[in-house]
Amino acid sequence: MYRLISGFISHVTQKEEFSVLIMGLDNAGKTTFLERIKSTFNDTPQVDPASIAPTIGQNIGRITLSSSVLQFWDLGGQRDIRSIWPKYYSECHAVCFVIDSTDKERIEECWKVFETIVTDHRVDGVPTLVLANKQDAEGAMAVEDIKQMFNQLIVGKLNVSEGAVMPISALRGDGIREAVQWLFVRVQNSRKEGGR
């Protein structure tokens, strides 16, 4: 009887888990974004951004919101590491692509990399959020300009349930709650509509 009751309680209190991939070119601020999420939602100490090294492989962070767990996979953005990204696509529930808004020289490369992600059939129908990071820095591209590029270059090629471009500063924490809330609502809706 105890096993039956404990099994029922475990089933009822079990939290739904969703995987979110964090991708982008190296030095876009992906790990700083992940660390800011962890310190904002998990009550963990904030990591000094100066101590964050380039990601070789992956970093993982989990947060609990309501009755769900969001597991974030921060994937290294160096050119030779990007080849492992597709191994994660079929298991993800959302894609979060981080752009360095100050890196105008690599914006074209950035969009090409993003295009290879969103045109992969394994991410069909997955909510996709583009984060224009480093909006606090002098010389950052305006979010409206990034949105316009996004609309001109990518939108016609997207096969996602929803997509958006949002401004953030991972360093200062601006826009972090809004980005996570956007992801949370979209993965919940996608599940209700028969998605992953």
How far is CA 149 from its chain centroid?
19
- Is there a binding annotation on residue 40? no
- Is there a binding annotation on residue 136? yes
Helix (H, G, I), strand (E, B) or coil at 74: strand
- Is there a binding annotation on residue 159? no
- Is there a binding annotation on residue 34? no
- Is there a binding annotation on residue 64? no
- Is there a binding annotation on residue 55? yes
- Is there a binding annotation on residue 25? yes
- Is there a binding annotation on residue 27? yes
Sign of the CA dihedral with 98 first, then 104, 105, and 110 last: positive
Cβ–Cβ under 8 Å, residues 130 and 101: no
Label the pairing between strands 94-100 and 68-75.
Answer: unpaired
- Is there a binding annotation on residue 31? yes
The whole-angstrom separation of Cα 141 and Cα 132 is: 8
- Is there a binding annotation on residue 151? no
- Is there a binding annotation on residue 57? no
Helix (H, G, I), strand (E, B) or coil at 98: strand
- Is there a binding annotation on residue 15? no
- Is there a binding annotation on residue 32? no
Residue given tokens 């992906």 in the structure block: 30
- Is there a binding annotation on residue 59? no
The number of CA neighbours under 13 Å toward the Cβ of 146 is 28
- Here the tokens at position 152 are 């001109």
**Binding annotation for GTP:** 24-31, 77, 133-136
Which amino acids are annotated as binding site, given as ranges? 24-31, 55, 77, 133-136
Binding site residue list for Mg(2+) = 31, 55
